[in-house]
Chains A and B, each alone.
Chain A
Amino acid sequence: MAKASMIRWLALGAALALASPAVQAQQKDPIRIGELNSYSKWAAFTVPYRNGWQMALEEINAKGGVLGRPIEIISRDDGATPGDATRVADELVTRENVSLLFGSFLSNAGVAMADFANQKKIPYIAAEPLTDAITMAQGNRYTYRIRPNNFMQVGMLVDEAKLSGAKRWAIVAPNYEYGQSAAEVFKRLIKERVPGAEIVAEQYPALGKIEAGATVSALEQAKPDGIFNVLFGPDLTQFVREGNTRGLFEDATVLSLLTGEPEWMLPLKDEVPEGWTVTGYPWDQIKEPKHEAFVKAYREKYSETPRLGSLLGYMTAYMIRDTIERAGSTETEAILKALEDTKFETVIGPVTMRGIDNQSTMGAWVGKLEQQGAGGRMTDWEYKAGEPFMHPESEVKAARKE
């Protein structure tokens, strides 16, 4: 009896193991694209992002795909670590035979992916990771990035800091690639652009492991009149709540990366800190018709408001379509050539892939936070195009090893 049931279990296991997704095969040979992202660990950003590219993909394939073939995106979880990301990427390249990779969320995974792309000579579009390294020190001809990097976003914020007159700055940033890179850029830019500015306190909690009360007291102790924040996700909500309670932000100018993005602002609810200068995405206030159409379609499809991730996923899928169309094939060299220095029409206007560092000129919305009802929104905002804030060419040439 026991043996018989064991055999049944084994049979079940074998059945599970062998049921590979052959069902997905389509009639016309599809173009296979690999996608990987931190869908389980950073679902707040990546799930809307997946909604975005899935919506674009459906639109594209409904119009006949590209080069007369449908596009198929094979999507995987990247495990949110550098090692897992490259392992999954390897699987996509060698088993699924994809001709291009895009995705990843955390900057450290992005840097590892850039290294992987260079080693395996496969085009990789880093949609989200923000560290400068991806297009600077670790940059290579196979790796492209769409979002404005740390240097650009911090540059936009520091311009706002000039007006505030704050001189004593405190930094709080997650202790991994993204936070370290942003803090470094900030230290450099604030000293270059605001004469007399000094850094009086720095706190680097481990990502996802902040001791918010202790961190806020430690910052308070230094009596800063300006605070530069790079925290996001669960760390941010805890930090904001403790900071609000203890009055850390009351007399300080606060510059904060990404906090205006709905994915990070919504969980703050009625605690949205008034007056913070942030980069973000005021999706409901952007009036360009193309963008409004995107928002309308997205809300109808998912009965949910878009996040920045949704926009990014949507833009990225269309940029890949345009690239393949221009390349006329899925050969690596043709794709690289079709990306370099190319102008793309997107729902937020034209965006160019700058050839010397493979960084796109996508800009960011910069504004202030204010409370509205039981949540928050961006006010006084302005879309800053990326071009004026990009790394100067001489620096790019010095940093990139090619």
Chain B
Amino acid sequence: MDPSFLVIQALNGLASASSLFITACGLTIVFGVTRIVNFAHGSLYMIGAYTAATLVPRLLELSFGPVSFWAGILVSALIVGIIGVLIEVLLLRRIYGAPELFQLLATFGLVLVVQDLVVQVFGPQDILGPRAPGLRAPVEILGRRFPSYELVLIAAGPVVLGLVWLLLRRTRFGVLVRAATQDRDMIAALGVNQAILFTGTLFLGAFLAGLGGALQIPRVAANTGMDLAIIAEAFVVTVVGGMGSVTGAFLAALIIGQLQAFGILIFPKSTLVVVFLLMAVVLAIRPNGLFGRPETVGGTHAVGIASHKPRSSNWILGLAAIAALACLPLAADAYLLKVATEILIFALFAFSLQLLIGVGGLVSFGHAAFFGLGAYGAALAVKWLGAPMEAALPAGLVLAGTGAALIGAFVVRLSGIYLAMMTLAAAQILYAVAFQWVEVTGGDNGIVGVWPSAWASGQVPYYLMTLGLTVVAVFLLVRIINAPFGYALRAARDSEPRAESIGINLRQHRWLAFMISGAAAGLSGGLYAFSRGSVDPGLLGIPTSVDALTMLLLGGIQTVMGPLVGAGVLHFLRDQIMPLTSLWRLFLGLSIIAMVLLFPRGLVGTVQHWREERA
């Protein structure tokens, strides 16, 4: 291949790497200090791009020249920085002590809120910003034209790295940030005003996100899909580089930029996979990323179901509930049954996650992987093998179980936030495979025509079948939770060293938990595929994982039955609210945030808490 082409392609990669670094750098600093994985970082990036694309043209009308352009970019970044401060003061400050899971969810709630607000504020149309004055013309490099703005971007990465480095090394604020990154409790004990430090950090992080977004406007039209697109990549950069490490993020961004630039030449259709594959490989070799430090012991707060002596009244309640559900077809119309079927499916999905999180303390952020594998396993069996539903459902379950075995084998070596990120990476790899392996999975089109066998195709029989399978699966899972195996998992969750010292093989137990949980999620995925008649990559996406987590937390993570109730309430509410308003994302986001702030115990947990208080 022609060398000038390789040079240009490498420069393309560098330009992307620079922009990615600027954004990811903010994410990693915020994580280092606050220990919050800020999902809303991508939203801040998007706000930065929208603000700059709206503001800069106005400034250029006032006076055309490079000064107004760059001033506009900086002002936009500052505005985003201030939004970051607001987010810290109003929301994050209240949840620093909460378990990671709640923090992740709260920031995801923000993502939903921002998605709707951006359309309300800036309008539905994509906004392409102006080109930078003075940088319109391309430069000639080895006989090929290259945009001069990209050269500026390439330089911007190292400049930001240098400035951040100076800030962290040469100022008191920087010293505090680094100290907090190492040991948050210690600097609190030394009397440092944490509130100001955290607010300052959030300002810096949001400013960098806004800057990253604002710098994009000459090359990318501000659009509503920017947030999730960048956040997935920014996660990869911070995880590969090592959470909290700025230089690590820089190196990781460089690698990813080049991978993408050359990746499209070798695999023009699988650009998404390479990035997450890189993350998986790095984490498999270095569980804390390139420059990351292992988490301090005791830094994570495992919450999970408490050990209660099972009450005999629970059995009666359970049987009564099953009987009531079995009688539902007598009273409900077709649509209500459809909703009830979906609630049952999600209940099983959320319940399978409970085994990992509530019992095992393994915060999986990619549970959609197993749900999606189950759905795709079933759909592929129908499409390629012509299998009937009776054979396709077990096929989905087996595929999900096998996938869980494979993913689990890597994941159980990690802990805390890296574990969550590894599961996220696994789900994203599967998402990318489903999305881009068009010949087999149908890509973005998904697979249609996944309808149940004739005997189960009516709404009533399908509901009853789902009920039967869900009840059996939940019963088995409850047995597992209350068996010695479940207690061993709980022991490992509460204290790893003690569990190990009494002879429990932690990894083996956790690995097994992954397989069981994955298989159960796979069953629910298969049921879901047949209830909708189609599968698409969205089933493997981040929102599906978040769904499961929300149901789990809404119901109450400390209770066995919480996820079942959570699934029911969330899905029912969503079904009622979505048709009412086009702003349902705003509602859902606000409810998630409210839930995290007001009901950290979840619904069932709160009720139980009342009962115990009264007793």
Contact = CB atoms under 8 A, between A and B. Distances in A.
Nearest to A248: B145
Contact of B446 (A39, A108, A247): A108
Given A6-B606, A203-B268, A206-B272, A115 B533 contact: yes
A119 interface: yes
Nearest to B1: A221
Nearest to B13: A214
Interface string B424-460: 0000000000011010000111101101000000000
Given A40-B119, A116-B533, A208-B225, 7 more contacts: A9-B594, A41-B224, A86-B534, A108-B536, A115-B448, A213-B219, A267-B127
Contact of A115 (B16, B435, B449, B580): B449
A197 to B, nearest CB: 21
Contacts of A331: none
Nearest to B579: A76
A91 B335 contact: yes
Given A82-B536, A84-B538, A213-B150, A108 B445 contact: yes
Contacts of B334: 94
Contacts of B533: 86, 112, 115-116, 119
7 contacts: A16-B587, A20-B576, A81-B538, A108-B536, A211-B264, A234-B221, A234-B225
A77 interface: yes
A175 B261 CA distance: 18
A217 B147 CA distance: 12
B134 interface: no
Interface string A79-109: 1011110110011001100000000000110
Interface stretch (A238-246, A283-291, A317-325, A345-353): A238-246
B138 interface: yes
Interface string B111-153: 0000110010000111110010000001000001111001000
B293 interface: no
A385 interface: no
B64 interface: no
A87 B9 CA distance: 43
Contacts of A180: 438, 443
B94 interface: no
Interface of A: 3, 5-6, 9, 13, 16-21, 39-41, 43-44, 47, 76-77, 79, 81-84, 86-87, 90-91, 94-95, 107-108, 111-112, 115-116, 119, 138, 175-177, 180, 202-209, 211-215, 217-218, 220-221, 233-234, 237-238, 241-242, 245-247, 266-269, 271
Contact of B269 (A82, A84, A175, A212): A175
B118 to A, nearest CB: 11
Contact of A44 (B124, B338, B575): B124
A34 to B, nearest CB: 11
Given A77-B582, A83-B538, A241 B438 contact: no
A206 to B, nearest CB: 6
B443 to A, nearest CB: 6
A76 B579 CA distance: 7
B2 A221 contact: yes
Contact of A108 (B9, B269, B335, B444): B444
B573 interface: yes
A267 B222 CA distance: 10
B529 to A, nearest CB: 9
B467 interface: no
A111 B448 contact: yes
A242 B138 CA distance: 10
B66 to A, nearest CB: 18
Given A6-B606, A238-B219, A267-B125, A214 B12 contact: yes
Secondary structure class of chain A's binding surface, majority of residues:
helix
Nearest to A264: B126
B414 interface: no
A305 B72 CA distance: 29
B383 to A, nearest CB: 12
A207 B598 CA distance: 39
A6 B451 contact: no
Interface in B487-523: none
Interface string B203-242: 0000000000000001111011100010000000000000
B138 A245 contact: yes
A233 B449 CA distance: 29
Contacts of A238: 219-221
Contacts of B333: 94
B585 interface: yes
Contacts of A220: 144
Nearest to B457: A119
Contacts of B260: 211, 214
Contacts of A115: 448-449, 533-534
Contacts of A207: 444
Nearest to A215: B264
A259 to B, nearest CB: 14
Contact of A21 (B444, B535, B572, B579): B579
Contact of A245 (B147, B536, B572): B147
Residue from A9, A77, A138, A211 with most neighbouring chain B CB atoms (10 Å): A211
A210 B580 CA distance: 34
Nearest to A263: B125
Contacts of B261: 211, 214
B271 interface: yes
Nearest to A118: B449
Contacts of B119: 40, 43
Given A115-B449, A203-B268, A213-B12, A83 B220 contact: no
Contacts of B446: 81-83, 108, 112
A47 B128 CA distance: 19
Given A108-B446, A213-B150, A242 B573 contact: no
Contact of B128 (A82, A204, A267): A267
Contacts of A79: 538
Contact of A237 (B126, B144, B272): B126
A82 B572 contact: no
Nearest to A180: B438
Given A108-B445, A119-B451, A241 B219 contact: yes
Interchain residue pairs A-B with the least CB separation, the first 4:
A43-B124, A176-B444, A95-B335, A94-B335
B126 A234 contact: yes
B599 interface: yes
Given A83-B534, A180-B438, A245-B145, A217 B9 contact: yes
Contacts of B269: 175, 204
B15 interface: yes
Contacts of A205: 264, 271
B335 A41 contact: no
A308 B315 CA distance: 61
Contacts of B445: 82, 107-108, 111-112, 176-177
A135 to B, nearest CB: 16
Contacts of A209: 229, 271-272
B93 interface: no
A271 B539 CA distance: 38
A1 to B, nearest CB: 13
A237 B129 CA distance: 10
Give the residue among B8, B260, B535 with the most A Cβ atoms within 10 A.
B8
A242 B335 contact: no
Contacts of A217: 5, 8-9, 12, 144
Contacts of A233: 126, 223
B464 interface: no
B331 interface: no
Contacts of B268: 202-204, 218
Given A17-B573, A214-B261, A246 B126 contact: no
